[in-house]
Structure 1
Amino acid sequence: MKVLLVDDHPLILSALQGVIKGLGSDVSVTTAASARELRQRLSEDADYDLMLLDLQLGDADGFEVLTEMRRDHPALPVVVVSGTDRAADVLRAIDLGAMGFVPKRASNELLFEALRLVMSGGIFVPPVSAGLGGPAPAAHEPAPLLQPRLQPSAGAPGTSGGLPAVPNVAGLTPRQNEVLGKLLQGLPNKLIARELNLSVETVKDHVAAVLRVLDVSTRTQAVLAVSRMQQSAAATTPPTRY
């Protein structure tokens, strides 16, 4: 696997390079310290399997570089690696075509998880930005996406990321909630169809219905919406008395 790392900080480049090489003996890593160097690398060889892109480059805005990459190299998966994990930045990056967003303070294990998910066709969103713990959004950040209501689900098992295996969002059918659960796991439509024994077209219809009920336009926004509904529900649930 050929990976292209783009970051203007030498220490970050070195650290990421070490982590990526730990994925396997067949992994080769090329680095670029600027947008200009990135373009030069791609002009010499555009056959990469994955790109990790910092948003804070000295010679260009990371979001503009991301837009350029998705336009000129649409088959190359891009994972944003950023010093921030604000929900607004995560949403913007994913909406511009990034396949994942990993905060620089993330652990090696989280980075491995993100890269495995992206390479399997999924989209990775950091748990903190999805509203799974951590401080509440600052006042200047966008308001939480809380249009639909998350029904209480007694004894629903959670995943390692804190999301239920099968959510129970008001306005969705049981099957649509199942599809939403698979979306929250980052599964692409083909895998959802296989796991639920549905056709891909039926899954697409269910996904469209889920996004419509959640009043969002992307899968990442759906993850953020559901996780924030859970956080809101947990905050309003009175503590258990013994």
Structure 2
Amino acid sequence: MIDGRALERECLALRLAMAGFRVICLSSVEAWRQTEDRPAVALVLLYCDRTIEERRRMLDGLHQVGATQVIVISPVGSLKSMMATIEHGARGYVPTASTVSQVVAAMRLVLSGEVYIPPNCLFGAKDPEIARPPDACWQDNFTAKQVAVIEGIRMGKPNKIIAYELNMCESTVKVHIRNVMKKLNARNRTELAFKATEMAATG
């Protein structure tokens, strides 16, 4: 965990340890880069309240030392900021308004190979327009199974859960996701969720 705020860093580390994670705490990316004999880590939690460009540099610094699985924790919760962070290589984005349980859920999702963005942020992308029931006509471009998979992704569910709820194999879910990504010209499941949300909002 990299966080310049000592109190918040130590409190979250304690709660994560109680959840079964082994946590190493540092105050900055530079401190991690300068650490000799850096241990292999499965995931980095990076607190960052800076500009998108500064956040990109911090992510680049972590990637250069082999930290490929990074979740950014930030008080900046705009969808634009989240998408830019994911595009710059983060595997997840957690607003500081989140609970510890949500942080743990995001960590486990990323460790399973998925990308995490809070579902409520996707649903609120067109606020207040998104608050009204979406027009179902957009669904005509997809099969019923594809629509169900899209809704699962929009809710932030991993493939295993989607497969279980839809009574299909996980490999079938992956096929549906690939086909939907092609139709929406989406590069990853996060962009897929974003585009599907916009499409649902506009009908």
- What TM-score, normalized by structure 1, do the two folds share? 0.66
Match of 2:86 in 1: 94
CA contact under 8 A between 1:35 and 1:65: conserved in structure 2?
yes
Match of 2:186 in 1: 216
SS of residue in 2 equivalent to 1:28:
coil
* Mapping of residues 73-84 of structure 1, within 5 Å: 73=66, 76-84=68-76
Shift of 1:69: 2.8
What are the Cα deviations for residues 38-65 of structure 1, in whole angstroms up to 9, with x where unaligned?
2123x422311211012247xx922222
In 2, the alpha carbon distance for the partners of 1:79 and 1:192 equals 23
In 2, the alpha carbon distance for the partners of 1:46 and 1:207 equals 35
In 1, the alpha carbon distance for the partners of 2:97 and 2:161 equals 31
Shift of 1:176: 2.3
**Alignment identity in percent?**
23
In 2, the alpha carbon distance for the partners of 1:228 and 1:100 equals 20
Pairwise CA RMSD: 3.3
Match of 1:164 in 2: none
In 1, the alpha carbon distance for the partners of 2:118 and 2:16 equals 18
In 2, the alpha carbon distance for the partners of 1:112 and 1:101 equals 12
Match of 2:19 in 1: 23
Shift of 1:96: 2.4
In 2, the alpha carbon distance for the partners of 1:72 and 1:40 equals 10
The structure richer in strand per residue is 1
Match of 2:42 in 1: 49
What are the Cα deviations for residues 146-173 of structure 1, in whole angstroms up to 9, with x where unaligned?
xxx8516xxxxxxxxxxxxxxx733112
Aligned residues: 195
The structure richer in helix per residue is 2
What are the Cα deviations for residues 112-152 of structure 1, in whole angstroms up to 9, with x where unaligned?
22122222222211134213489669xxxxxx9xxxx8516
In 2, the alpha carbon distance for the partners of 1:207 and 1:79 equals 23
CA contact under 8 A between 1:55 and 1:81: conserved in structure 2?
yes
- What TM-score, normalized by structure 2, do the two folds share? 0.77
Match of 1:171 in 2: 141
CA contact under 8 A between 1:7 and 1:54: conserved in structure 2?
yes
